[in-house]
Amino acid sequence: MKKPGKRLISLQINGMEYEVAVRSDRTLLELLREDLMLTGTKEGCDDGSCGSCTVLLDGSPVRSCLLLAVEAENREVTTIEGLAENEKLHPIQQAFVDHGAIQCGYCSPGMILTAKALLDENPAPSEQDILHAISGNFCRCTGYNKIVTAIRAASRNGKGGD
């Protein structure tokens, strides 16, 4: 079985410039997790249904298991590792910790990034807005209740946010 050749691409990840040689059939998820050891992004299903692998591409949430790495060429990728500044958690991360929105934590990176994209776009979302935004991110532990509480707390409605 002949494997596809590698291509040299440039992309920005969490504010850093990367130049990587990657096979054209590799997903962005594989590039992040296996080549760059950015294992905060999780794989849960490999068919785009669970949302665990969500990262931000130019600020918008995408499933990195459905995106080829080469499609991220010259674009800006944000993973969960890029949110906290040094040891200070991003306000959404802090809200997830404070409000019990994390249990096993496997969905948390994707969920937090989805929430970030929502609040960047709409700093004062309604509960329905929140429920719609995270409807592609499965969580099996929390029933979503405390995740919604956390996102609301981090929003302008909850006096969080900007």
Partner 1 sequence: MDELLHVGRSIPRKDGPIKATGRAKYTVDVALPGMLAGKVLRSPHPHARIVSIDTGKAARLPGVRAVVTAEDSLKIKHGFVETPRYPADQYPIAVDRVRHVGEDIAGVAAIDEETAEEALSLIEVEYELLPAVFDPEEAMRPDAPEIHPNNPKVDEPYRNIGGKTATSWGDTERAFAESYLVREDKFYCQMRAHGYMEPQATVAHFDYSGKLNVWTSSMGVFLKRAKLAKTLGIPHSSVRVLKTYVGGAFGGKIDLFHHEYIASLLSMKCHLPVKIVYSREEVFKAARPAQPLIVRIKTGVAKDGEILGQEIEAINDSGAYHGSGVVVIFLAWGFAMAPYRAPNLKYEGYSVYTNNLVRAPQRGHGAPKMRFAVESQFDMIAEELGMDPVEFRLRNVRKPGDILPNGDSVKKFGLSECIERVAERTDFRNRHEAGKRERETGATVKRGIGIGTTAYFGGSLIYPNSSSAIVKLNDDGSVSLLTGALDIGQGCETILCQIAAEELRMPVEEVQIYAADTETTPVDIGSWISGLTYVTGNAVKKAAGQAMEKLLAAAARELDADVEDLVARDKQIFVGHSPERKISYARAVAASIARDRGDSIIGEGHFRTMKDVPTHPSLASTKGRWTENYSSYAQVAEVEVDTETGAVKIVKVTTAHDCGFPVNPALVEGQIDGQVSMGQGHILSEELRVENGCVINPSFLEYKIPCSLEMVETDYIDVITEEYKRGHHYNTKEVGEGYVSGTVASVANAVFNATGVRMKKTPINPYDMLAELKRIRKEVS
* Residue ranges in contact with partner 1 by CB under 8 A: 1, 3, 33, 37-47, 49-50, 52, 79-81, 83-84, 89, 93-94, 96-98, 100, 102-109, 112, 130-132, 134-148
One-letter identity of residue 86: N
With contact defined as beta carbons under 8 Å apart, do 48 and 35 qualify?
A: no
Query: To the nearest whole angstrom, how small is the minimum distance from the Cβ of residue 81 to partner 1?
Result: 5
Under DSSP, the state recorded for 85 is B
- Residue 2 or 74 having the CB closest to partner 1: 2
In Å, what is the CA distance from 115 to each residue of 73, 76, 112? 24, 18, 5
- Residue 11 or 78 having the CB closest to partner 1: 78
- Residue 68 or 73 having the CB closest to partner 1: 68
In the sheet with 76-78, reading across from the earlier edge strand, the strands are 16-23, 6-13, 76-78, 54-57, 60-63
Query: To the nearest whole angstrom, how small is the minimum distance from the Cβ of residue 82 to partner 1?
Result: 9
